[in-house]
A and B are shown apart, each in its own frame.
Chain A
Amino acid sequence: MSLQNIGFVFRKELTEWLRDRRTIISTVVIPLLLFPILTVGFGTMATMLIGKAKEEIPKVIVLGGDDSPKILEGVRKLDKIEVVAAQTNWKDEIINKEVRAAVEIPPGFEADLAQQKSDVVKIYMYEGEMKSSFAADRVEKYFKDLSDRVVTERLAAKSLPASILKPFEIKQDNVAPPEKVSGAVLGGLVGYMVILLCLTGGMYPAMDLTAGEKERGTMETILSSPISRYHLVLGKFFLVLTAALATAALSVLSMGLSFNALKLFSPEAASGRGEAAALMLRIGPATVLAIFVMALPVAVLFSAALMTISLFAKSYKEAQSYVSPLMILVIVPAVAALLPGVELTSKLALIPILNVSLLCKELVTGTYHWNYIATIFLSTCVYAGVALFLAVKMFQREDVLFRS
């Protein structure tokens, strides 16, 4: 009978929850849209914008070079830039994005080259401005090629091989499989997102089922029924937990689908080559399962904590102001795990949220430290148990239930 009562409460709360537009948006719509927008949406948009910027023929000013006609002609003939006449305020023109870059050819440059004197070619650009960088890069490439050509000619004149300047090559080679490489880059983000969405997914139902009920006057109605408060709080708790886990599950699903969709837009990333490959997360079913097992006690902890805090509030609005600081308490340790160099230790394995966030980072890279997994799972279970105990106790307190 008692378990059945918990079921009745859960079923009723689930029915109401599924009919609430606000919670459906926070639990289903946001997680399902967030990742496609972040990956495919932003990815496609960034690729499009970069492509468009590359296609533009930037205007470049050449300063000096009258006594170096061949070089000046070479710069003018570059097909990916348009050389325009210099004005006195050419620096302002670059800042105002009317002209993308300027190159200053030193006086007597060609003569100096012939006499093997060293000179400085200056390229002026707007740092951080993409189109200006492209323009500067194109001009720089021309002068680098020229420099290489001059060196080769000088070496040939002295009958020396080109390898004299390059006695050996240095090459870094990655031995980690692609999933570990991408995991190291984005692994921390998975834990962070799962933790954060567990919290936000449980937030609205927790406030609605406690402070919201007090505000609407339905708390007194349900308290007048024969159900014990213990069963009532458990029924409500299971709904908040379901919402938290559903949000996290949908977000992981959405994340997986988004990364797969990204393959369609970036074949290079799909084949595991190039810079785009670092943006690909290869999350297998085993990793997903492992993340969920670890997310479960975290979701219990959040659900119970959210209910305890929200129940103390008299209204939904008041509950929102109580719950907001909890977001900071959760985000700080979750973000700390994203910092480079922060790795799991036996001490960090006991710090709630940070431990799970760090563990997710390891799980995504396919690393399983079973001692840490056990410590983190058990310690989080203990924290979750304490939070749930507090939530149950809070429901027994008349001064909290009838706070006015």
Chain B
Amino acid sequence: MIETRGLVKTFKDKKRGEIRAVDNVSFVCKPGEIYGLLGANGAGKTTTLRMLATILEPTDGTAIVCGHDVVEAPEKVRANVGFLSTSTALYPRLSSQEFVEYFGRLNGLDEATLKKRVDEIFSRLDMNSFRDRRCDKLSTGMKQKTSIARTLIHDPQVMIFDEPTAGLDVMTARTIIEFIRECRQRGKTVIFSTHVMSEAEKLCDVIGIIQSGKLLVEGSLAELRSRYNEQDLEEVFVKVVAPLYAGQEDN
């Protein structure tokens, strides 16, 4: 379960002064549900997800992830979270197995459990053929599978995906999409950011549209379609975001 309470994140910029990247964002994401955070580039999606993964600390407000406060107990939060984004790269000089084992150990798994988990995940994701290959010699698909194995090694209850398919080819992107669905089936709490409307339509139980750091609207796909009288999610998105986006462009 994820519950954000008035999350705020500001950054200081020499030229532009204080930037409010995330502005009073509150939402709830339940177990067995995929929450899609939809927004244009620079809308505040990554910053929000980084705060949930405790990579960044909120300037104000907080979030409760699996019963732990992101400000007060960040390490406990991270122990219950699997975080995956296109920018979470692999260590080039470690093998696929060494990489996953390293994160297993950091998550406190003992050697016997770690071995069992690694064997299980590598078989499940069909990774045994390249488990001893160095990460810098892996194909993009193999790299993504290794990243997925890393997020699964400690069997977290919450999965955070930050634009996980950005820049990937269709086949690799499909692996990720299937994996996200599987997480929901296993009863995990899943939050997922994207600016690809088709992905959000396919996957999300609840969609939150974010722009200029503000969560403008949220609801199920059906609710949003009915509220904005549009069948196409892209049209819904444009209707929600356009006024603020125009203002932002003017500035």
Q: Do A and B come from one complex?
A: yes
- A residues neighboring B (CB under 8 Å): 1, 5, 8-9, 12, 15-16, 19-20, 216-218, 220-221, 223-228, 398-399, 402
B108 touches A19 (CB 8 A): no
The residue from A20, A223, A226, A402 contacting B107, defined by CB atoms under 8 A apart: A226
Distance between Cα atoms of A402 and B53 in the complex (Å): 15
Q: How many residues of B contact A (CB 8 A)?
A: 29
Complex contacts, A1 vs chain B, CB 8 Å: 108
Whether B89 and A217, one on each chain, are in contact in the complex, defined by CB atoms closer than 8 angstroms, is yes
Give the segment of B73-81, B122-130, B168-176, B231-239 that binds chain A: B73-81
Pairwise interchain contact A216-B92, C-beta atoms closer than 8 A:
yes
Chain A interface SS verdict (over half) = helix
The docked-state distance in angstroms from the alpha carbon of A20 to that of B91 is 12
Residues of A contacting B12 in the complex (Cβ-Cβ under 8 angstroms): 399
Distance in angstroms between the alpha carbons of A398 and B92 in the assembled complex:
24
A226→B108 contact, CB < 8 A: yes
Cα separation A373 to B105 with both chains bound (whole Å): 42
Decide if B145 is an interface residue (CB 8 Å cutoff).
no
> Once bound together, how far apart are the Cα atoms of A174 and B106, in whole Å?
63
Q: Does B91 contact A220, Cβ atoms closer than 8 Å?
A: no
Complex A-B, nearest 10 residue pairs according to Cβ-Cβ distance, in ascending order:
A217-B89, A224-B83, A221-B88, A19-B93, A226-B79, A226-B78, A16-B93, A225-B106, A217-B87, A223-B55
Contact A227 B93 (CB under 8 A): no
Q: Return B222 CB to nearest CB of chain A, in Å.
A: 33
User: Nearest chain-B residue to A223 (Cβ)?
Assistant: B55
Residues from chain A with a CB closer than 8 A to the CB of B57 are 398
Q: Do B88 and A225 touch (CB < 8 A)?
A: no
A228 to B11, CA, bound (A): 23
Asked if residues A8 and B91 are in contact (CB atoms below 8 Å), the reply is no
Q: Which residues of A contact B90 (CB under 8 A)?
A: 218, 221
Best-surrounded residue of A20, A216, A228, A399 (most CB of chain B within 10 A): A216
Query: Which of A8, A216, A218, A225 interacts with B78 by CB under 8 Å?
Result: A225
Q: A217 to chain B: which residues have CB within 8 Å? A: 87-89
Instruction: Report if A226-B56 is in contact (Cβ < 8 Å); known contacts: A19-B93, A218-B89.
Output: no
- For residue B98, CB closer than 8 A to chain A, the reply is yes
